């Protein structure tokens, strides 16, 4: 029977609930249990697709085309388990469901209420689309005490009541701050948070305590006494050099044992911790260092490019190299000379995904410098589209080549499919028609033999995740190629450009998809592996 593990957070946000959930999932899946990890988000948006990444972090796209919370990225990276649309729910989606049913008359005249109608919908989601999973881990977004989280907490309380202790486990992640002035750890915030949970009918079974440094038995005993948990159930999550230390940190304190004991699982399966041990060993023995400039608009928050950060890190480890990232605000390099100065001490340049005309000049400048000085270049999604525009605009008559994303143009080299199919001379960007027009999720691409892309993937056919509205306009194929761009990956029907490269450059690649979404520590992505290798070669020059 499937067992449900619920993870809540207390005291403050940003304690790393996503990492803790992923780490627990990793320990279970490395023990050969079938695991599913889900996120329940209390906000009212239907999904995070429309949210500004500098406020909410990256939007993670699943294979089946859902725009989800960035925590799903952690789940995939830590476990290798592919997330699905049904693994992320928001209050918005729950209400949408409830209201649809109300309009259809499904509630047979009853007054529609948070309890039981909304909570029933949440419970249904938690149990939805399962196939013999041993464990389902549900991370509840937000912090206990938030008004928005209440229906979710009520739903999991009801589930404990329905399924019993043997099938449900409550884990609470809380903060134990160290007060320098008093020279001691303070357990009161944790006590209050647990009290708040108790008020909602939830007694945590395991307490994970985030602290800046190690605390000892004294604090553990105090927490255990006041929070009504056994001493062994109080587990310390201290600051780590890398998030990838957390699975072992939890394991070493007996978390897995506690968890399996709680569920009264007698025949414990063998856990293989080797992958983490090897990975952490590699991290501690890096031999070289490279510096990559990421030229983007949301550079104020590295969370906006979480998967990218991680993918570069994974491939760095793969190449025994520390990857230093220099975040460059594209608006600050609109002067070409300044741009060259800013980028010249970097071993590689990366223009990641992005939206809108704002800041594109600096990104185009970065591409020019990479070409001029033979600096390895990786363009992801928007970074590929801009590389094409930069290239074609060097042809006579194509100086004004543009994307319809930027407004009216007579040279729509990048545009929406329905726009270039109309085959009109003037293309107008329809601002009122953006919803539902994205290409989302996994799509297949066919690679050109003997291309760089082919040598990187070592296969003819690949599948990668997309999240974009505009495409390379096939009507300009000839001119694009004439400008020095090789179209090395195409959609199976040959109409959509998936990968580009340049033969007149040591390492220049643009991809319409997001390879960073598929990189994991144990399976770093071949494109980033090759990119970091090119950076290394560039650093020896």
Task: Summarize as ranges the residues that interact with ligand GLN (CB under 6 A).
Answer: 353-355, 381-382, 405, 467-470
Residues pairing with 327 in the sheet: 294
CB 10 within 8 A of CB 172: yes
CA pair distance 66, 89, nearest whole angstrom: 11
Main-chain phi, psi angles of 79, to 5 degrees: -120, -20
Burial (CB < 10 A; 0-12, 13-18, 19+), residue 181, is exposed
Shortest separation between residue 445's beta carbon and ligand GLN, angstroms: 16
Shortest separation between residue 419's beta carbon and ligand GLN, angstroms: 12
* DSSP of 27-92: HHHTTT--EEEEEEE-SSSSSGGGS-HHHH-PPEE-TT--EE-THHHHHHHHH-PPP-GGGEEEHH
Shortest separation between residue 355's beta carbon and ligand GLN, angstroms: 4
Q: Please, where are the H alpha helices in 328-472?
A: 336-343, 360-372, 382-392, 417-422, 452-457
How many angstroms separate the Cα of 128 from the Cα of each of 120, 122, 125, 161? Answer: 12, 10, 5, 19
Please indicate whether residue 227 is annotated as part of the active site: no
Q: What is the DSSP letter of 203?
A: -
CB 343 within 8 A of CB 375: yes
Shortest separation between residue 521's beta carbon and ligand GLN, angstroms: 24
Q: For residue 529, give every residue at least 6 positions away whose Cβ sits within 8 Å of its Cβ, in sequence order, or none.
A: 315, 318, 319, 456
Taking the least distance from each CB to ligand GLN, the nearer of 107 and 355 is 355
Taking the least distance from each CB to ligand GLN, the nearer of 215 and 476 is 476
Of 209, 227, 346, 381, the catalytic one is 381
Shortest separation between residue 508's beta carbon and ligand GLN, angstroms: 18
Please indicate whether residue 346 is annotated as part of the active site: no
Taking the least distance from each CB to ligand GLN, the nearer of 157 and 363 is 363
Please indicate whether residue 516 is annotated as part of the active site: yes
Of 117, 172, 314, 514, the catalytic one is 514
Q: Report the SS3 class of residue 23.
A: helix
CA pair distance 103, 112, nearest whole angstrom: 11
CA angle 197, 198, 201 (to 5 degrees): 95
Taking the least distance from each CB to ligand GLN, the nearer of 19 and 472 is 472
Taking the least distance from each CB to ligand GLN, the nearer of 65 and 189 is 65
Report the Cα 280 to chain-centroid distance in Å. Answer: 21
Taking the least distance from each CB to ligand GLN, the nearer of 158 and 309 is 309
Report the Cα 487 to chain-centroid distance in Å. Answer: 28
Taking the least distance from each CB to ligand GLN, the nearer of 62 and 193 is 62
Taking the least distance from each CB to ligand GLN, the nearer of 142 and 383 is 383
CB 380 within 8 A of CB 519: no
CB 463 within 8 A of CB 511: no
Shortest separation between residue 13's beta carbon and ligand GLN, angstroms: 26
Taking the least distance from each CB to ligand GLN, the nearer of 67 and 245 is 67
Shortest separation between residue 22's beta carbon and ligand GLN, angstroms: 24
Shortest separation between residue 332's beta carbon and ligand GLN, angstroms: 20
* Total count of residues recorded for the chain: 541
CB 121 within 8 A of CB 94: yes
CA pair distance 459, 474, nearest whole angstrom: 24
Of 245, 342, 419, 516, the catalytic one is 516
Shortest separation between residue 55's beta carbon and ligand GLN, angstroms: 17
> Which residues form the catalytic set?
381, 514, 516
């Amino acid at each position: 029977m499937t067992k449900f593990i619920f993870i809540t957070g207390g005291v403050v946000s940003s304690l790393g609930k996503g990492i803790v959930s992923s780490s627990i999932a990793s320990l279970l899946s490395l023990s050969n249990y079938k695991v599913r990890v889900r996120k329940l988000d209390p906000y009212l948006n239907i999904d995070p697709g429309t949210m500004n990444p500098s406020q909410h972090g990256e939007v993670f796209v699943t294979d089946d085309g859902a725009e989800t919370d960035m925590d799903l990225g952690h789940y995939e990276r830590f476990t290798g388990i592919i997330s699905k649309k049904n693994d992320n729910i928001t209050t918005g989606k729950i209400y949408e469901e409830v209201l649809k049913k109300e309009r259809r008359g499904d509630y047979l005249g009853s007054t529609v209420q948070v309890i039981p109608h909304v909570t029933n919908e949440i419970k249904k989601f938690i149990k939805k689309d399962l196939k013999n999973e041993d464990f389902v881990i549900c991370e509840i977004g937000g912090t206990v005490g938030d008004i928005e989280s209440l229906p979710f907490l009520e739903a999991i309380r009801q589930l404990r009541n329905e399924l019993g202790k043997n099938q449900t486990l409550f884990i609470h992640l809380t903060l134990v701050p160290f007060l320098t002035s008093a020279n001691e750890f303070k357990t009161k915030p944790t006590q209050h948070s647990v009290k708040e949970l108790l008020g909602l009918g939830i007694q945590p079974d395991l307490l994970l305590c985030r602290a800046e440094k190690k605390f000892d038995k004294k604090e553990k005993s105090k927490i255990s006494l006041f929070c009504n948990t056994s001493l062994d159930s109080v587990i310390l999550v201290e600051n780590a050099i890398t998030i990838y230390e957390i699975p072992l940190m939890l394991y070493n304190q007996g978390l897995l044992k506690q968890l399996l004991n709680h569920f009264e699982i007698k025949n414990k399966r063998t856990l293989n911790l080797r992958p983490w041990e090897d990975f952490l060993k590699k991290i501690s023995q890096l031999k070289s260092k490279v510096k990559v400039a990421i030229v983007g608009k949301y550079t104020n928050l590295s969370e906006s490019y979480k998967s990218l950060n991680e993918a570069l890190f994974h491939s760095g480890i793969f190449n025994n190299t520390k990857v230093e990232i220099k975040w460059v605000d594209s608006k600050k390099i609109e002067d070409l000379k300044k741009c060259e100065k800013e980028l010249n001490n970097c071993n590689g340049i990366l223009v990641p995904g992005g939206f809108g005309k704002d800041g594109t000049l600096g990104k185009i400048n970065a591409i020019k410098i990479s070409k001029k000085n033979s600096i390895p270049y990786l363009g992801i999604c928007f970074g590929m589209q801009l590389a094409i525009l930069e290239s074609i605009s060097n042809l006579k008559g194509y100086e004004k080549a543009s994307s319809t994303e930027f407004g009216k143009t007579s040279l729509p080299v990048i545009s929406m499919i329905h726009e270039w199919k109309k085959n009109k001379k003037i293309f107008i960007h329809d601002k009122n028609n953006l919803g539902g027009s994205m290409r989302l999720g996994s799509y297949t691409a066919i690679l050109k033999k003997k291309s760089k892309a082919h040598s990187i993937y070592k296969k003819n056919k690949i599948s990668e995740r997309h999240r974009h509205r505009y495409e390379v306009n096939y009507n300009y194929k000839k001119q694009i190629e004439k400008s020095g761009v090789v179209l090395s990956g195409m959609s199976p029907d040959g109409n959509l450009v998936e990968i580009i490269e340049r033969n007149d450059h040591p390492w220049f690649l643009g991809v319409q998809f997001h390879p960073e979404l598929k990189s994991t520590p144990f399976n770093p992505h071949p494109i980033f592996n090759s990119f970091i290798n090119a950076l290394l070669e560039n650093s020896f020059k």
